[in-house]
Amino acid sequence: MHLEVVADDAALGRVGADRILQARADGALHVLGVATGGTPASTYRELARRSDGRLKDVRLAALDEYVGLPAEHPGSYTSFVRRNIAEPLGIAPEHVAVPRAAAHDLEAAAALFEQQLRDAGGVDLQILGIGANGHIGFNEPGSQADSRTRAVTLAERTRQDNARFFDSPDDVPREALTQGIGTILEARRILLLASGPRKADALARAMEQPPSADCPASWLQRHPDVLVVADQAAAAALS
Ligand code: F6R
């Protein structure tokens, strides 16, 4: 895993956008895997400002979606991707894949999503954030390296951390449909973004401890092309 430390969240957004636009300029970006949540927001804002139509033909694949929220709910990741990425970049709705967690049959929805990734030719560049407990996607501690897209129960800490996106903490869903670790590791390149002091411990475990299910992000050590871009606060516990 390679590491680039930047000053703050604004710099994180600039470097994140640089990497994505460079991959597109190199002809190496047809399918962009997108994380949601707070960390990549500065990157998506930069892309919206600078991409100038260059990403409009890229396909998007989300990492995860809450179970139990209608897709049009403002807190759903379907809404997030539409509002913050697809619409600002001019990407057509039919080029956006999000796990269909509103489906009755979640196993079938998971299989369909994996098929959509294969049909698109796989993810060229996967953007990831990291949870304070070391999760990536919604692969909570205990997630194995070979896990695939599936329904999972969210850790209580994750629900508390994400309560800021909902009217009340009780509204945060308890389950999600997430790409598995094995699914994520199939992306050709990975860009992990980390910002703020709450991520420092998880990032140090992900990069410096032997890979294990205790810190799912540590499985990324097995991938040959991971760039971690962290601001100084998130990098503070790295040796
Ligand atoms: C989002 C996702 C999560 C977040 C992580 C960090 O699609 O899969 O793994 O990346 O929870 O969230 P923030 O960036 O809000 O701290």
What is the model's pLDDT at position 13? 98
Q: What is the pLDDT of residues 188-217, one digit of tens each?
A: 999 999 999 999 999 999 999 999 999 999
CB atoms within 10 A of CB 133: 19
* pLDDT value of residue 215: 98
Active-site residues, by number, are 64, 133, 135, 140
In 3D, which of 131, 136, 103, 113 has the Cα closest to residue 226? 136
Which DSSP string corresponds to 137-152? TTB-TT--TT--SEEE
In a domain, 156, yes or no: yes
The model's pTM is 0.97
Instruction: Work out how many domains the chain is built from and give that number.
Output: 1
**Beta-strand runs (E) in 37-184:** 59-62, 64-66, 96-97, 125-128, 150-153, 175-178
* CATH for 6: 3.40.50.1360
Domain assignment present for residue 63? The answer is yes
Mean pLDDT by 10 residues, the chain (239 residues): 97 98 98 98 98 97 96 96 98 98 96 98 98 98 98 97 95 97 98 98 98 98 98 97
16 lines ligand 1 (CB under 6 A): no
The complex scores an ipTM of 0.99
Protein residue closest via CA to atom 8 of ligand 1: 137
Please tell me if the CB atom of residue 196 comes closer than 6 angstroms to any atom of ligand 1: no
Atom of ligand 1 nearest to the CA of 37: 15
Cβ-based neighbour number of residue 146 at 10 Å: 11
> Do the domain assignments include residue 234?
no
180 lines ligand 1 (CB under 6 A): no
- Closest residue (by CA) to atom 11 of ligand 1? 131
Residue nearest to atom 4 of ligand 1 (CA): 129
**Tell me, what's the pLDDT at 205?**
98
Going from the Cα of 137 to the center of ligand 1, the distance in angstroms, rounded, reads: 7
| 236 within domain boundaries | no
CA distance 128 to 147: 17
Q: Is 64 in the pocket of ligand 1 (CB under 6 A)?
A: yes
Asked whether residue 235 is domain-assigned, the answer is: no
In a domain, 9, yes or no: yes
Of 64, 83, 135, the residue with max ligand 1 atoms within 8 A of its CB, to mutate for a pocket test, comes to 135
40 contacts 129 by C-beta, under 8 angstroms:
yes
Owning domain of residue 224: 2-229
**Could you tell me if residue 111 is inside a domain?**
yes
Ligand 1 pocket mutation pick from 63, 65, 162 by most atoms within 8 angstroms of CB: 63
Measure the CA–CA gap between 96 and 61, rounded to whole angstroms: 6
Residue 122 lies in a domain: yes
